[in-house]
Amino acid sequence: MIFKHELKANFKTFLIWTSIIAGMDFGFMLMFPSLQDSMDKAMSAYESMSAFSTAFGMDRLSMADPLGYYGVYIGAILSLGGALFAAIVGTGILSKEEGGHTSEFLYTLPYSRLNIVLQKVAAVFVILFAFNAVNLLLGLLSFPLIHAKLMLQEILLYHAAQFMMHLEIAAIGILLSAFTKKISIGIGLGIAMLLYFLDMMSRVLPQLKFGKYITPFYYANAADVMPTRGIDPLLLGIGIGLTLLCIVIGGLYYNKRDLAA
Amino acid sequence: MENAIEISDLVKTYGKARGVSGISLNVEKGDFYGFIGPNGAGKSTTIRSMLGLITPNTGSIKILGMETSKDKVNILKRIGYMPSESMFYPQMRVSEIIKMSADAYKMNCSKQAEALCDRLKVNTTKRIEELSLGNRKKISIVCAMQHTPDLYILDEPTSGLDPLMQKEFFSLLTEANRLGATVFFSSHVLSEIQSYCNNAAIIKEGKLIAVDSVSNLTKTNARKVTLRGIAKVPAIDGVKILTAEENQVSFMFRGNVKTLIAALNELNMNDVIIEEPSLEEIFLHFYEKEETK
């Protein structure tokens, strides 16, 4: 079964990225009590750097508070790291067959091409779900360990938004992957970085305000999700729509196109 | 007799590059069929179209009575395919690849796989990345044969295999063929086509230039003549020089044998060999004839 095969094939990458990012986040959370004092001072310094603090969401979340620290500091690692991981998995999933010359083996097995694509997409979904689940569990575990109040709703909503954002990045990667004959992980990573910076810039520069409709980092940003206890429904709707569109267009195109040897 | 493969007017172009232009070809069930042509002639394009890896511009392909464009999965279930590159996932073990392939056919072919690995001396515990082309080819053979398909489509199957393995491979194919399977394989090694195939098609620059039985293809009134002890070829009509060395010349002769003998009679040579040309030489002859047109 291709689904199981893909889980196995991606397992190493999954293990490396998950352990590094979730491990880093968990470690930084445990360090919070010893950082709290300096965070207090830092926050007053950040307040004078208005654009900088807006870009990182520190105008609405305080790093001196455990939830704010989780949203801003931990959130930056999780959202960017997770997006890069999603880009790698998404862009590789289809194009690696042609890049590695295995397409003639895989696509002459008695499965329809659409079936294989769907199994591959399902594998990406499960891999990203597992990545986010590990991050969420360690996040939830870290609050009681540092004797902080667990704000369950905020954290669950934030992680749900992160998961959706990672799926969207992966879907863009799948679309790219469907159209290119060689592995284009570099382009996938580039797009993920670009969208990350677009989120920050759109918060600071009025000319780039439209950016929030484009980048999934916007609706998944802790500075919006946590204080409002909600995900912007319009932006989330656009995100889900774009994700499905990328997968459908990519899948249908790939289903028909000539495969390189 | 029913046909295992029916290709009519197949056209496939890749942008400006040539693929194949107007190929029509029938292979009867139970046949051992050779598909000959140099690299880049369109052999792989034809085969990849048959398997639905690429979509032809026009033309139709029927495999085992089913259209590739409609019934691909059902066709693939009954085919054993060996791609020319034989690449697999580098991190996987040989046994895992063989199992992955068997699972796709929803068959338990572990017995056949074991027998094949035994005869081909495949080490199933190795990882793909550790293997040479020849060893990957052997895995490709196991994957193509373990589910005992009705039709074998093999794209340059022998490249990379050592002579002993080639022999073993052909005896496996011959056994399968005797049990009723159809074999269609492409090659640019003519001697293997001549030794094993009943029928053959010759492809050049995307077009078939000859389709016939191998015995008809090799039956020609041309003769290959080798003379020892002289350096000059007799000046008669119908001679085409193949090689001319200091002490030996060889040439193709097409025409009246009496003229040849009379001309040879005049020459002061030590030895003469007159023989039927091999398929290889006829094949080259086909190519040159085309070029002079």
Residue A112: list chain B partners with CB under 8 A.
72-73
Q: Which of B182, B197, B217 is the last residue of a domain?
A: B217
Helices A152-179 and A113-145: angle between axes, nearest 10 degrees: 150
Residues B23 and B100 in one domain: yes
Return the DSSP state at A220: T
pLDDT for res A124: 98
Residue A100: list chain B partners with CB under 8 A.
87, 89-90
Residues B48 and B27 in one domain: yes
pLDDT for res B293: 43
Residues linked to residue B155 through DSSP beta bridges, in sequence order: B186
A217: enclosing H helix or E strand: helix A216-219
Q: Let me know if residue B292 belongs to a domain.
A: no
Q: Let me know if residue B280 belongs to a domain.
A: no
- A103 to B53: CB separation less than 8 angstroms, yes or no: yes
Residues B125 and B250 in one domain: no
Q: Let me know if residue B84 belongs to a domain.
A: yes
Task: Tell me how far apart the alpha carbons of residues B87 and A104 are, in angstroms, rounded to a whole number.
Answer: 8
pLDDT in tens, A191-218: 999 999 999 999 989 999 999 999 999 9
- Residue A236 or B227, more confident: A236
Chosen for mutation from A8, A97, A104, A183 (greatest number of chain B CBs closer than 10 Å) is A104
**How many domains in chain B?**
2
- A101 to B76: CB separation less than 8 angstroms, yes or no: no
- B73 to A112: CB separation less than 8 angstroms, yes or no: yes
Domain that holds residue B194: 3-217
Residues B248 and B134 in one domain: no
Residues B253 and B174 in one domain: no
pLDDT for res B54: 94
- Give me chain A's average pLDDT, please: 92
- What confidence tier does B287 reach under pLDDT thresholds 50, 70, 90? low
- Report the 3 state secondary structure along B127-184: EHHHCCHHHHHHHHHHHHHCCCCCEEEEECCCCCCCHHHHHHHHHHHHHHHHCCCEEE
Distance from CA of B119 to the nearest CA of A (A): 22
- B73 to A258: CB separation less than 8 angstroms, yes or no: no
Residues B170 and B69 in one domain: yes
- Of A152, A125, A126, the closest CA to residue A139 belongs to A152
Residue A6: list chain B partners with CB under 8 A.
none
Asked if residues B239 and B252 have their Cβ atoms less than 8 Å apart, the reply is yes
pLDDT for res B239: 81
- Give me chain B's average pLDDT, please: 89
- A110 to B77: CB separation less than 8 angstroms, yes or no: yes
- B83 to A104: CB separation less than 8 angstroms, yes or no: yes
- Of B94, B205, B77, the closest CA to residue B147 belongs to B77
Q: Let me know if residue B285 belongs to a domain.
A: no
pTM: 0.87
Closest chain B residue to the Cα of A101, Cα to Cα: B87
| Chain B residues whose C-beta sits inside 8 Å of any chain A C-beta | 14, 44, 48, 51-55, 72-74, 76-77, 79, 81, 83-91, 100-101, 103-105, 143
Q: Which of B196, B217, B238 is the last residue of a domain?
A: B217
- Residue of A102, A111, A256 with shortest CB distance to B73: A111
Q: Let me know if residue B283 belongs to a domain.
A: no
- A9 to B90: CB separation less than 8 angstroms, yes or no: no
Q: Which long-range contacts (CB under 8 A, 24 or more apart) does B158-167 make?
A: B158/B187, B158/B189, B158/B192, B159/B84, B159/B133, B160/B86, B160/B132, B160/B133, B160/B134, B160/B136, B161/B134, B161/B137, B162/B134, B165/B120, B165/B121, B165/B134, B165/B138, B166/B192
Domain harbouring B17, CATH code = 3.40.50.300
Task: Tell me how far apart the alpha carbons of residues A125 and A163 are, in angstroms, rounded to a whole number.
Answer: 10
Task: Tell me how far apart the alpha carbons of residues B19 and B13 are, in angstroms, rounded to a whole number.
Answer: 5
- B76 to A108: CB separation less than 8 angstroms, yes or no: yes
Closest chain B residue to the Cα of A3, Cα to Cα: B100
Residues of chain A short of pLDDT 50, as ranges, are none
DSSP string, A40-86: HHHHHHHHT-HHHHHHTTTTTS-TTSHHHHIIIIIHHHHHHHHHHHH
Residues B106 and B166 in one domain: yes
Question: Going by DSSP bridges, is the β-strand pair B151-155/B223-228 parallel, antiparallel, or unpaired?
Answer: unpaired
Residues B26 and B67 in one domain: yes
Q: Which of B175, B193, B217 is the last residue of a domain?
A: B217
Q: Let me know if residue B86 belongs to a domain.
A: yes
- Of B153, B126, B152, the closest CA to residue B139 belongs to B126
pLDDT in tens, B35-77: 998 888 899 999 999 999 999 999 999 999 999 999 999 999 9
Residues B179 and B259 in one domain: no
Asked if residues B90 and B129 have their Cβ atoms less than 8 Å apart, the reply is yes
pLDDT in tens, B140-160: 999 999 999 999 999 999 988
- A9 to B89: CB separation less than 8 angstroms, yes or no: yes
Q: Let me know if residue B287 belongs to a domain.
A: no
Average pLDDT of the segment spanning B214-224: 80
Residues B194 and B211 in one domain: yes
Residues B118 and B76 in one domain: yes
B104: enclosing H helix or E strand: helix B94-104
B124 Cβ neighbours under 8 A, 6+ residues apart: B93, B94, B95, B98, B117
- A261 to B44: CB separation less than 8 angstroms, yes or no: yes
Distance from CA of A82 to the nearest CA of B (A): 25
pLDDT for res A229: 92
Structure tokens at A182: 């060689």
Domain harbouring B268, CATH code = 3.30.70
Residues B229 and B208 in one domain: no
Q: Let me know if residue B204 belongs to a domain.
A: yes
